[in-house]
Chain A
């Protein structure tokens, strides 16, 4: 039976990171873009915890992950408020249509 090691976690986190960036670049709906941000933050979280566990770095990594989870929640709250305001002013949440400031 194969044991699960650090590399497996790093592959998962690397994939999540790439999906997050890909999602942010290609999605047009602002809410989907925000989900891409969550993927990036969580991929970093996986890294922190996996490194702390397999590198025997103590609980520092887990603590950092807790901070990041709280921060992601705060960021999501503010981001949704901003998107709601965009919907009120533009009647759309498509980030490509919200583009008046351009020369």
Chain B
């Protein structure tokens, strides 16, 4: 490999390099200027903005980085990757804001340096999960994200709930990534390659033993399914989401789920799809029936998520089950195996980012005042905290998928993709699930607005910064519900993926 070629590859991974530089700088600043570590959040924010600039630059670039002699590329740069990287960067920006405004994190302020280092590590891992095109690179980046998030989930060291969350996350995470690695080793044995582009051709040619191949793919799906909390691998989700500090929960529920989905989509589309008809439906390799498999997983995921959320008494735990349900909706979009389904997933993710981060933000701000996440302690908060109450209402209505909020547009595009593919039964199941979800979202509102306020309930005293952060999420949720063509256009331009 010539040096020129290597430099060209470096040019393609500018965002990753920026993240790495800021990761190192944060460690150094924390080491040498530990007295001034209250400035680290600003610095991390700046680093993310610069990274975001490089990511947005990549929207029109397509290229393969680190190609070896036999044309195996390690990293793919295309607008699909740029879209998901943008989602990760925006979520990380909000993550910094959420952390700064959370009272829960006050006790950890002497360890800010570690916190933002871990965050940058996660961003780097997620970037490679999104754009990696070699199973080993993907496995390593999944582990980089997981190892950082185990520590983040237990970051409130003295809290029993937080440390229990990190232990559970660790055990389930290590098991599923171990399964994934074993699956990759079997794929390597069957095809002599770990590269996604090569797998596409090799799986047909090698006449691989289809039973072993199926087993290996199920094992690999275990690793990915754990990241997106799809149903048989979801056990960690409620406990970890409830126990972890709320900013971390919000981050896990959006950013690492986005990276997991990007990985799954790229894995299926690059390795198994070999053609696309004029309507945009993909014809996939018959060795593994992804469509039926994904339909089963998605129905199980959304049904379990929605029904288990019905009898939760803790708002964070309820939002955890709701995020499982949303993973189910997103999987239906992938099960269509078509371009319209992919557009629907991208639209849904952009909207899911705003409404889910927003819901967790309100939970944080309410906990700052009342010190609790239990549903019973939300009684009458709509009157003592009108601004937060109304904003929470908007986010919850959007999560349900009712107009005029953006959540409706996300669901609309998903259902349209399903109907387009004549998967009416699946569409009806998803619709009925949304109806079920209405019940538990509205229950929070019932507690906030219809229950009698407790005596001596705290006043709503928000700083200007907090009001602005809430507004920066509320306004887009309503705005994109009424005028959604920018998001849809962006998604349509972002489905371009290298390979089929």
Contacts and interface: CB of A to CB of B under 8 A. Distances in A.
A71 B182 contact: no
A24 B189 contact: no
B185 interface: yes
B33 interface: no
Interface string B161-193: 101111110110011001101101110110010
Contact of B188 (A61, A74, A95): A61
B171 A101 contact: no
13 contacts: A30-B171, A48-B185, A51-B189, A61-B188, A79-B150, A89-B164, A90-B163, A98-B167, A100-B160, A100-B164, A101-B168, A101-B239, A103-B314
A101 B188 contact: no
Contacts of A99: 164
Interface string A78-103: 11011101101110000100111111
B182 A43 contact: yes
Interface residues of A, number: 43
Nearest to B313: A103
Majority-rule SS of B interface residues: helix
B132 to A, nearest CB: 13
Interface of B: 136, 140, 143, 147, 150-151, 154, 157-161, 163-168, 170-171, 174-175, 178-179, 181-182, 184-186, 188-189, 192, 194, 238-239, 242-243, 311-314, 317
Contacts of A83: 167
A103 B188 contact: no
B143 A47 contact: no
Interface of A: 17, 20-21, 24, 30, 33-34, 37, 40-41, 43-45, 47-48, 51, 55, 57, 60-61, 64, 67-68, 71, 74-75, 78-79, 81-83, 85-86, 88-90, 95, 98-103
Nearest to B178: A40
A57 B198 CA distance: 14
B313 A30 contact: no
Contacts of B164: 86, 89-90, 98-101
B161 A101 contact: yes
Contact of B154 (A20, A44, A74, A82): A82
A47 B186 contact: yes
